[in-house]
Amino acid sequence: MKRHRHRFGKFSAITMLALVVSIVLVQAGSRSDLPAKISGFIAAPLTETEVAIIKTGQPVSKLLSSGADTEVGVFGVTWVDADVSAYIRAVEDIEQFEKGGSFLVTKRISDPPVAEDFARLKLSDEDVSDLKKCRVGDCQLKLGADAISRLRSESKGSKHKAKADIQSLFRQLALEYVDGYQHGGNAELEVYRDKSRPIAVAKEFAAIVEEMSQLLQHDPALRQYLLDYPNAQLANGSSFFYWQQVDFGLKPTFRINQVAISQSGDTTLVASKLLYANHYFHTALELQALIPDESRGPGFWLVTLKRMRADGMSGATGQMVRGRIEKEAVSGLTQALRATKGKLESGR
């Protein structure tokens, strides 16, 4: 009887060792099992099941690790059975591409920007009310010290006049912000003073670019452009600006983005850089790689990497907020990939 127990124990140990080795080999080999064209763009470990899903052409999204407790990162990939040029045309027609659903208004900004570009921008009544109480270090909207001072001065008239003046000044500030960035680059990005600790958008953005070095290594010119605009140029690319108001979370949010499209070999990279948002995220960058793959036929791999930084994600309460943001970021990216795939493949 003892001898049988000894043999069983020895057999179990060998079996367990073999199982562990096989798991390690599967995990180590998951990257090599990916289609060759996209293996160098993968930004997160993938399971066998996820690799199998990707090979069918369906979207997979995952959380990314981050070196900052204020940051959430997500990664996703899907196959799109359409021409790369069709996707670029869709992005350039941003007003139609990001329309409906949570997108309340999307407006491409003229080159150079003009006041009429922001005519449809309208703060919520709650935002206008909050601006009347806004102080440096204590404000419900993300603003710099100068903007806070100027908006406060407009809130001192009669109730009706003050509301109209605040709306008008906020539109003017948006125009000045884009114009200032186009002339001075990241140095002109806001230093938020809505909380006790100042947040310099340029510094936060540079840190995000460094974290995205794996994807940006495929196009060093785009990396330079993101950091040194307007003193850097895209030899094989273009860029444009747009603003939008979106309805997600607890408050409608106004944000300004710069989109840069760059061609590097047979791969196209599309970068969407958050320049300003009046709520939630103070810095964000989304990179998309559009990668043709002759082994699959017409179409391209759409690989997306997104990093976003926000306040309020540390401490006990912050962990709950982070959990919700992470969950919504992953599901949101999956939905976006599926929607993009559906629109392009149906020719809409």
Q: What does the pLDDT look like over 190-214, one tens digit per residue? A: 999 999 999 999 999 999 999 998 8
> Given a cut of 80, is residue 12 above it in pLDDT?
no
Q: How far apart are the first and last CA of the chain?
A: 73
Separation in Å, CA 62 to CA 4, 75, 323: 47, 5, 14
pLDDT above 70 coverage of the chain, percent: 86
The pLDDT score that the predictor gives to residue 251 is 84
Q: Which residue segments constitute the domains of the chain, with CATH numbers given? A: 55-346 (3.30.530.20)
53 neighbors 60 (Cβ within 8 angstroms): yes
* Angle at alpha carbon of residue 40, lines to 94 and 282, rounded to 5°: 45
Greatest CA separation for the chain: 95
Please state, in angstroms and rounded to a whole number, the distance separating the CA atoms of residues 63 and 72: 8
- The span from the CA of 75 to the CA of 313, in Å, is 20
Q: Which of 172, 176, 169, 180 has its CA nearest to residue 134?
A: 169
318, 323, 328, 330: CA torsion to nearest 10: 130
Q: How far is CA 347 from CA 274, 327, 342, in A?
A: 29, 30, 8
Indicate the pTM of the whole model. Answer: 0.87
How far apart CA 272 and CA 95 sit, in angstroms, is: 15
pLDDT tens digit sequence for 37-79: 898 898 888 999 999 999 999 999 999 988 778 899 999 999 9
Beta bridge partner(s), residue 107: 243
Q: Tens of pLDDT along 237-283?
A: 999 999 999 987 678 999 999 999 999 889 999 999 999 999 988 99
Q: Compute CA 217 distance to the chain's CA centroid, rounded to the nearest angstrom.
A: 18
85 contact partners, CB below 8 Å, separation of at least 6: none
